[in-house]
């Protein structure tokens, strides 16, 4: 039985997990997190060294009592000089205003409560309460929150049709990885540098693909010289061949010209495929975008390929063997969406 957690619930559980004291407090938190990934009761019990009945009892307690009550008797995290109320206010401040320097946060706490922190002390505190120093995410200012909400309503109706096993929903997108290693974050021995060789070429691999909304391992892809209306039709023909018993196939995509092509859409009228277009500037609503990010992490950013053909083979081999990443992809490619206005939707 899979437990569905909102992003806020997951963040809270992970934060408690990092700071609880005592094995059983840790086990209670981790039990819920593991169940939320789709692990079975037997798997959770085996990994944590507890009885299956204990897993059932923890789940029932969590569902009945809610997060705070479930953890209230066990959580003993240490937050430093600030009280729980002050921590809550600090979290609100950090989520409202952008701070790029720990010294600015030290100053804000001093002005607000008269409490002194060193820059390193505030870094330790921020890590304990679930904050990390990382790049902000750029989002187009043209993105329309109301249109994203409307699309979520439409998607809810579409995904509800898949219960009859005759309707299939795919997310579509093209990816164009460049044959060149990109620098990435990694664990490197202090005081040393970890070099990554690169090539000077800018050759690209062009792939058009779709991902099954209900089965993240079901990815149909087409390697092509150019992604256009003609090669998109070839991809759609592969989709039809792969779903001979389907009576309706929805394909959700962005508004790229090859998906909007008049020629392609005239051909679609005689098929069971119905295109559905995302609102403009909404990659956050297309779960195949997460697959491309995972591809870069696993294949592109961490390996060096001298020849373009080797690079291309590695990308295609990844797409042909997603079963080896089943656990990670099942957790990553869920139907959980966060809108540009921070609203969350789960299906």
The answer for residues whose C-beta is within 8 angstroms of residue 346's C-beta and 6 or more apart is 4, 6, 334, 335, 336, 337
CB distance 319 to 210 below 8 Å: no
User: Of 16-25, 96-105, 155-164, 243-252, which gets the smallest average pLDDT?
Assistant: 16-25
Q: Higher pLDDT residue, 216 or 50? A: 216
* Backbone dihedral angles phi then psi of residue 286, each to the nearest 5 degrees: -115, 105
Instruction: Name the range with the highest mean pLDDT among 57-66, 125-134, 216-225.
Output: 216-225
pLDDT at 262 over 90: yes
Q: Quick one: average pLDDT of 182-211?
A: 75
Q: What percentage of the chain carries pLDDT values higher than 90?
A: 41
Residue 44 CB neighbours (<10 A): 23
pLDDT at 32 over 80: yes
Q: Model confidence at 77, in pLDDT bands (50, 70, 90)?
A: very low
Q: Higher pLDDT residue, 155 or 28? A: 155
The reported pTM is 0.61
**What pLDDT shows up at residue 201?**
63
pLDDT at 154 over 60: yes
**What pLDDT shows up at residue 158?**
93
């Amino acid at each position: 039985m899979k437990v569905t957690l909102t992003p806020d619930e997951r963040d809270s559980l992970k934060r408690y997990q990092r700071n609880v004291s005592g094995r059983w407090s840790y086990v209670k938190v981790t039990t819920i997190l593991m169940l939320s990934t789709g692990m079975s009761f037997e798997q959770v019990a085996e990994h944590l060294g507890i009885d299956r009945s204990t897993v059932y009892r923890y789940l029932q307690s969590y569902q009945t009592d809610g997060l705070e009550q479930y953890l209230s008797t066990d959580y003993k995290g240490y937050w430093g000089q600030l009280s729980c109320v002050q921590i809550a206010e600090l979290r609100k401040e950090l989520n409202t205003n952008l701070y790029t320097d720990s010294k600015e946060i030290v100053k804000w706490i001093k002005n607000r409560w008269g409490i002194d922190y060193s820059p390193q002390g505030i870094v330790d505190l921020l890590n304990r309460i679930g904050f990390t120093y990382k790049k902000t995410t750029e989002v187009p200012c043209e993105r329309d929150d109301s249109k994203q909400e409307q699309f979520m309503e439409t998607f809810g109706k579409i995904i509800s049709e898949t219960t009859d096993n005759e309707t299939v929903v795919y997310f579509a997108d093209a990816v164009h990885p460049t044959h060149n290693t990109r620098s990435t974050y990694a664990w490197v021995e202090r005081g040393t540098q970890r070099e990554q060789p690169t090539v000077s070429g800018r050759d690209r691999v062009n792939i058009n693909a779709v991902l099954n909304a209900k089965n993240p391992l079901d990815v149909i892809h087409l390697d092509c010289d150019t992604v256009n209306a003609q090669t998109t039709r070839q991809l759609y023909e592969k989709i039809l061949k792969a779903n001979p018993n389907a009576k309706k196939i929805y394909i959700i995509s962005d508004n790229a010209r090859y998906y909007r092509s008049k020629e392609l859409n005239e051909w679609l009228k005689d098929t069971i495929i119905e295109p559905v277009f995302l609102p403009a500037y909404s990659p956050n609503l297309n779960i195949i975008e997460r697959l491309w990010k995972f591809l870069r992490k696993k294949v592109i950013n961490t390996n060096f390929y001298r020849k373009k053909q080797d690079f291309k083979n590695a990308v295609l081999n990844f797409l042909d063997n997603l079963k080896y990443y089943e656990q990670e992809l099942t957790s990553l490619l869920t139907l959980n969406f966060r809108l540009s206005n921070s609203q969350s939707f789960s299906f």
